[in-house]
Chains A and B, each alone.
Chain A
Amino acid sequence: EVQLVESGGGLIQPGGSLRLSCAASGLTVSSNYMSWVRQAPGKGLEWVSIIYTAGTTHYADSVKGRFTISRDNSKNTLYLQMNSLRAEDTAVYYCARAISGYYFDSWGQGTLVTVSS
């Protein structure tokens, strides 16, 4: 059974940095396309970033240059390094497996990031 467990969320001031983690079991992170999707409070879903099996990465325009997706194969864990955080980055962040880089078939439970002074 695939299980994705996010951690690292919390309250952070504007301009600050935070690193989210997504520990995977039941799948090998390096052998799958893995993504981050976020959801602002009371709002819809927004794709954030993806990392391909070959290591290629893509980002939404809203986070490009500020966020970095990466993985640690030895820990079977996906990361999202978030810098220069803004109030509009406040959201629940989900990690998800993207089948062939397309649609998301397995999701974590999410971790809440609140950017506020």
Chain B
Amino acid sequence: EIVLTQSPGTLSLSPGESATLSCRASQSVSSNYLAWYQQKPGQAPRLLIYGASSRATGIPDRFSGSGSGTDFTLTISRLEPEDFAVYYCQQYANSWTFGQGTKVDIK
């Protein structure tokens, strides 16, 4: 099983700042089969990024994904008030597993 470790656990930032979230895999994620989701309290997750760097339909371009192998990054430039949420990475190269999440909260 591929274990995904996200860091940091919590990121405290102000609107307008940039956020950098990390997702590290216990073994290489082939074909960059990695996705990112956003989840707000009481809501279902929303797909942001798939294939490590492709934005899902309707996702603003301030969200970007990068990385390969075992190290992946989600960057949110110019945080908007609606971006404060929990973010999960997920790999689909070998079964399906999620990271434990990074909470982005307002400083």
**Residues of A near any B CB (own CB < 8 A):** 35, 37, 44-47, 50, 58, 60, 94, 98-99, 101-105, 107-110
Contacts and interface: CB of A to CB of B under 8 A. Distances in A.
Interface of A, secondary structure class, is strand
A37 B88 CA distance: 13
A44 B23 CA distance: 14
A44 B101 contact: yes
Interface string B28-71: 00000101010100011111001000001000000000000000
Contacts of B99: 44
B98 A104 contact: no
A105 B39 CA distance: 13
Contacts, number: 51
Interface residues of B, number: 21
16 contacts: A44-B100, A45-B101, A46-B98, A47-B96, A60-B95, A102-B33, A102-B50, A102-B92, A103-B50, A104-B35, A104-B37, A105-B47, A105-B50, A107-B44, A107-B46, A108-B44
Contacts of B22: none
B65 to A, nearest CB: 12
A20 B41 CA distance: 22
A35 B46 CA distance: 15
A37 B46 CA distance: 13
Nearest to B51: A103
A13 to B, nearest CB: 27
B95 A45 contact: no
B92 A103 contact: yes
